[in-house]
Amino acid sequence: MATRAVFLGILLLVVIGLSVPSPAAGAGGDDAPPRTGSAARPEDAEYAAAVTAIKSADFTGAIRRLEGVVARDGTNADAYNWLAYAIRQNGDPGRSIPLYQKALALDPKHRGAHEYIGEAYLALGNVAKAREHLARLNSLCFFPCSEYRDLKKAVEAYEKRDGKIKPAGR
């Protein structure tokens, strides 16, 4: 009986620990800076300056810096995610898609990139592609994570606002 109680206590602690977002997860919402993946990288001054620029809504400055970062380090999924985010926030969701795809090719479990590419697809009127990334987030998150909740909310708002699902490419 005591062994079972200890097991249930440990299980509860694990569940609670998994449901607390990590500091790298970001705050969520379209106004928040993009979420990053889990891989820590050595500090890059240009990368750090780009992140600061994004947090200050200087998307043009961030784009310039991040283009240099990804040119030097083509394996940095977080840099591609930040670059795509800055481009999308700067008004070009179509140009952001291939960059999110690059981030996801480097890190297929990058929850932030899945959320933000889904939002980019919504901006382009492609709710079916956004739902694909919502389904992927559902499978990546042990419990519903903030990326899943935020994209789900965006899809629902899109459908409610438009009253119907638009075909891709509109």
Q: Tens digit of pLDDT for each residue in 75-123? A: 999 999 999 999 999 999 999 999 999 999 999 999 999 999 999 999 9
What pLDDT is recorded for position 163? 55
Q: Are 49 and 64 in contact (CB under 8 A)?
A: no
Query: pLDDT (tens digit, 9 = 90+) per residue, 15-61?
Result: 444 443 333 333 344 455 555 554 555 678 999 999 999 999 999 99
Structural domain of residue 123, as residue ranges? Answer: 119-170
> What is the reported pTM?
0.73
Confirm whether 33 is domain-assigned. Answer: no
| pLDDT above 80: residue 168 | no
Confirm whether 23 is domain-assigned. Answer: no
Domain count of the fold of the chain = 2
Q: Are 117 and 101 in contact (CB under 8 A)?
A: yes
Residues 126 and 92 in one domain: no
Q: Are 97 and 123 in contact (CB under 8 A)?
A: no
| pLDDT above 90: residue 169 | no
Residues 134 and 169 in one domain: yes
Residue in this structure with the two tokens 């965006």, named with its chain if needed: 154
Give the span between the Cα atoms of 28 and 112, in whole angstroms.
9
Q: What is the CA radius of gyration of the chain?
A: 18
Q: Are 165 and 127 in contact (CB under 8 A)?
A: yes
Confirm whether 97 is domain-assigned. Answer: yes
Confirm whether 28 is domain-assigned. Answer: no
| pLDDT above 70: residue 149 | yes
Residues 132 and 169 in one domain: yes
**Cβ atoms within 10 Å of 24's Cβ, excluding its own:** 13
Residue in this structure with the two tokens 């795509």, named with its chain if needed: 84
Q: Which CATH number covers residue 102?
A: 1.25.40.10
Q: Which residues contact 162 (CB under 8 A, 6 or more apart)?
A: none
Residues 71 and 93 in one domain: yes
